[in-house]
Chains A and B, each alone.
Chain A
């Protein structure tokens, strides 16, 4: 599903910062992978490149068999819209839109009719137990509810992969566990999932853990999420 070959990325600031130093990575369809690393290890940059939110300097990135390189703005937008679902640490819901409108927004950019996309949005909200909250604005929702809305929004376009950037970073442990459970279920339905985290408890709930250090992959290890006690403290 994802194939990275020798990806390099340098930020040119006052002092050039070589963030990713030749990343080789392969993620197969249906995998649930976590990327761990300290802050500054390049994990967020990697995720942004995977999400076509940022560009890379050298190397090749194949997503679902297609080379993602030097895409035009519009092409990149279309790729993001059709293939990738994002879940952010700070939810990034649009504050003046209701839960339903937020979920329906990606479909708006597919030029879907209002009726159809609202129907689909409701379906996904219902799936995550938010039917009653459909008409509420983000500031009326709890953190867990917000993240569930954003999961619904990520899924509503039926993307190939879900990219989650510290999805539980702003949540307490109980809610974190709930969200991870949901992501598990989503992955079980066959959607490839990449989670960037620095929390061990989160990584342990994925099936593969990639450790990133100073812009290179230090280790890739298989993990059995069922091995840990799901009630154990996540953080």
Chain B
């Protein structure tokens, strides 16, 4: 019955007879789905952008900063500064099975001079792994390697901005000698500038340590393996703090003495935020859709009321309840899915347009927005939602129509 041409023709005629009403009702549904898709694609774009910032450090990276103690311990007053040294590196490298690639970092600021040009810069002493852990993008040449660290070579990787300012006329700065605080470094690479935090240049930490006679590191980074869950990370942090506390003589629960940062924990936190945003978007979208569904249901009620007489005649002529029920449900379903798809296509179209025009929106090197799009799963889900809502919208008015007694319907005016 449902799949005959006649059945659909009857429905099309019914829809056609109330063209304006059908269009207005359909618009509510189309708008609901359109907004749902748009919200979701914008949400996805925002999420993709944020998550892409984590992608390049897909491994879990811990960063430790020396702080100052917040409570007295073993006769030390509180407020004592904690500085990292080679002892910390040894502790981290040998004392924790999960830890690898321990990277110290120290820095010095100075005047970078090439020819007649000079610029203020921060020179950072690092290890080779720093490039991967701190998301350094190399534009030219190479980064600091093991050899540089071992021999404390006077080599330097400058950033984009320095290159532009100091090596304006040169095709490549690589191989040139750059003076920082009157010491000549050979330029081996150019890295992308990182945010608006001033000029940066990298050298081997051993080099900088020797030339500036620093004993301490202001920052230690390392990656971890096998720390997956939040609980594992928490336990690790506790253990880490206790061990460092023993080494530096501070209370093992003093979390002001050493600042511990972890990308995994950040990532988990961000993920948690995003799942709430996602839920929120779905709730708004569904709420908009529900108002559309209520609209369709309402219109179907009016339609059924208007057609009471006709339904009565049909029943007198032998129409079965199932035929009346299915025709009204199908009418609602047709409005919902047809206009739902129009809305969905419009939404997908707009987000695809936004994708191609915007693509990526960066603020200070951080992606805020990337690939706003909806995946096929969402489309499939939206389709399901549409069908369910269409049937729901049609069902109650249809049941009302079925309950109409033929004689009452015929006499209905």
Contacts and interface: CB of A to CB of B under 8 A. Distances in A.
Chain B CB within 10 A, most for which of A80, A96, A108? A108
Given A53-B406, A88-B410, A109 B319 contact: yes
B5 interface: yes
A77 B320 CA distance: 6
Interface stretch (B97-105, B204-212, B231-239, B306-314): B306-314
B1 interface: yes
Contacts of A153: 317
A114 B318 contact: no
B13 A80 contact: no
Contacts of B322: 74
Nearest to B4: A111
A10 interface: no
B318 A109 contact: yes
Contact of B317 (A48, A86, A96, A111): A86
23 contacts: A48-B407, A53-B410, A73-B320, A73-B321, A74-B320, A74-B322, A77-B319, A77-B321, A80-B315, A80-B316, A80-B406, A81-B318, A88-B410, A92-B312, A92-B316, A105-B314, A105-B317, A109-B314, A109-B318, A111-B1, A114-B5, A114-B6, A157-B318
B309 A92 contact: yes
A134 B315 CA distance: 23
Contacts of A51: 316
A62 interface: no
Contacts of A74: 320-322
A53 B317 contact: no
A94 interface: yes
Interface in A76-109: 77-78, 80-82, 86, 88, 92-94, 96, 105-106, 108-109
Nearest to B407: A53
Interface residues of B, number: 24
Main secondary structure of the interface of B (DSSP, over half): helix
B407 A82 contact: no
A54 interface: yes
A122 B120 CA distance: 98
Interface in B314-335: 314-323
A109 B323 contact: yes
Nearest to B316: A86
Interface string A46-81: 001001011000000000000000000110011011
A194 B314 CA distance: 21
Contact of A106 (B13, B17, B317): B317
A48 B319 CA distance: 17
A153 B317 CA distance: 9
Contacts of B312: 92
Contact of A54 (B319, B321, B323, B405): B405
Interface string A110-131: 1100100000000000000000
Nearest to B307: A94
A106 to B, nearest CB: 4
Contacts of B319: 77, 109
Given A74-B322, A82-B318, A94 B313 contact: yes
Interface in A137-165: 153, 157
A189 to B, nearest CB: 21
Chain B CB within 10 A, most for which of A77, A86, A92, A105? A77
A75 to B, nearest CB: 9
Contacts of B406: 53, 80
B410 A81 contact: no
B13 A109 contact: no
B331 to A, nearest CB: 14
Interface in B365-413: 402, 405-407, 410
Nearest to A91: B313
A200 B208 CA distance: 123
Nearest to B9: A114
B320 A109 contact: yes
A110 B323 CA distance: 12
B407 A78 contact: no
B235 to A, nearest CB: 68
Contacts of A88: 410
A108 B13 contact: no
A128 to B, nearest CB: 18
B315 A108 contact: no
Contacts of A93: 313
B309 to A, nearest CB: 7
Contact of A81 (B5, B317, B402, B405): B317
A74 B406 CA distance: 12
A165 B309 CA distance: 16
A122 to B, nearest CB: 17
Chain A CB within 10 A, most for which of B6, B309, B316? B316
Contacts of A92: 309, 312-313, 316, 410
A48 B5 CA distance: 33
Given A80-B317, A92-B309, 20 more contacts: A51-B316, A53-B406, A54-B407, A73-B320, A74-B322, A77-B315, A78-B320, A80-B318, A80-B406, A81-B317, A86-B317, A88-B410, A92-B316, A92-B410, A93-B313, A96-B13, A109-B314, A109-B323, A114-B5, A114-B6
A28 to B, nearest CB: 24
B307 to A, nearest CB: 10
Nearest to A73: B321
Interface string B289-302: 00000000000000
Nearest to A82: B318
Contacts of A105: 314, 317
